[in-house]
Amino acid sequence: AQSVTQLGSHVSVSEGALVLLRCNYSSSVPPYLFWYVQYPNQGLQLLLKYTSAATLVKGINGFEAEFKKSETSFHLTKPSAHMSDAAEYFCAVSAGNRDDKIIFGKGTRLHILP
Amino acid sequence: GAVVSQHPSWVICKSGTSVKIECRSLDFQATTMFWYRQFPKQSLMLMATSNEGSKATYEQGVEKDKFLINHASLTLSTLTVTSAHPEDSSFYICSAPSGGYGYTFGSGTRLTVV
């Protein structure tokens, strides 16, 4: 079975500061890992995904994440926060088969302070 | 890229009535569709997995007689909330594997039962 734990339901950073959203996973098989962003009353937008290739994954809008097997982590970072980054972020995991279900973490609300 | 069209985007219905939500894959074949429910300020919880031409698989605790899922073709999956009650009010989102180990999400349906 797969699961993800997102540390911190709310994270606040100043505009221009580093963004770090934490995600730890648990999986009985090599996982595929994802980060999604959700704006209010909207669907999900994929930021990036790890599918067993390079451990450092670059995504859209300047986000990136590093898969660390030894730490079972897949933290999301962005060097400089922008006001438009304020949203809900979800880490997710699947077992890696093409049609396998994707399990979401509880989400982290990112607040950007002016 | 792959698109899943979800309709309606919002619906208000009276308690006791049924509501149908449709998800269509527009430019790819969706043999599998995942249905999620999201309560306010919470994560996405997987309700069920539908596969074209076969019965849906429901997650533990989800009433299959209340949430009817039909996946009659490779491009259409529907979720019908039967005898809706206020506690069924939620945000419902569908998702389909769309190649490249990716998933495409619908834009969601906001259901309000009054």
- Check CB contact under 8 Å for A106 and B110: no
Please confirm whether the linkage preceding A31 is cis (ω < 30° from 0).
no
Q: Which two tokens stand for residue A104?
A: 């979401």
Q: Is it the case that residue A53 has pLDDT exceeding 90?
A: no
Q: Look at B101 and A44 and tell me if their CB atoms are within 8 Å.
A: no
Q: What is the mean pLDDT of residues A24-48?
A: 90
Calpha distance B22→B4 (Å, rounded): 10
Q: Mind giving me the DSSP string for A48-70?
A: EEE-SS-SEEE-GGG-EEEEEGG
Task: Name the more confident of A27 and A34.
Answer: A34
Contact A107 B43 (CB under 8 A): yes
**How many whole angstroms separate alpha carbon B85 and alpha carbon B112?**
9
| Cβ neighbours, 10 Å, residue A113 | 12
Inter-chain CB pairs, A–B, below 8 Å? 49
Q: Which residues of A touch B42 (CB under 8 A)?
A: 106-107
Query: Which chain B residues are within 8 Å of A106, Cβ to Cβ?
Result: 42-43
Percent of chain B with pLDDT over 70: 99
Question: What percent of chain A lies above the pLDDT cut of 70?
Answer: 96
Give A98's pLDDT tier (boundaries 50, 70, 90).
Answer: low
pLDDT value for B42: 86
CA distances from B37 to A22, B48, B110 (A): 23, 10, 10
In the predicted model, is pLDDT for residue A96 greater than 90? no
Disruptive mutation site among A29, A38, A52, A67 for chain B (greatest number of B CBs within 10 Å): A38
Is B114's pLDDT higher than 90?
Answer: yes
Whether residue A43 and residue B107 make contact (CB cut-off 8 A), yes or no, is yes
What mean pLDDT do residues B15-44 have? Answer: 93
Q: pLDDT tens for residues B45-81?
A: 999 999 988 889 999 999 999 999 999 899 999 999 9
Confidence at residue B11, expressed as pLDDT on a 0 to 100 scale:
97
* Across A20-37, average pLDDT: 93
What is the distance in angstroms between the CA of the first residue and the CA of the last residue of chain A? 41
Our measurement of the distance from residue B50's CA atom to the centroid of its chain's CA atoms, rounded to an integer in Å, reads 9
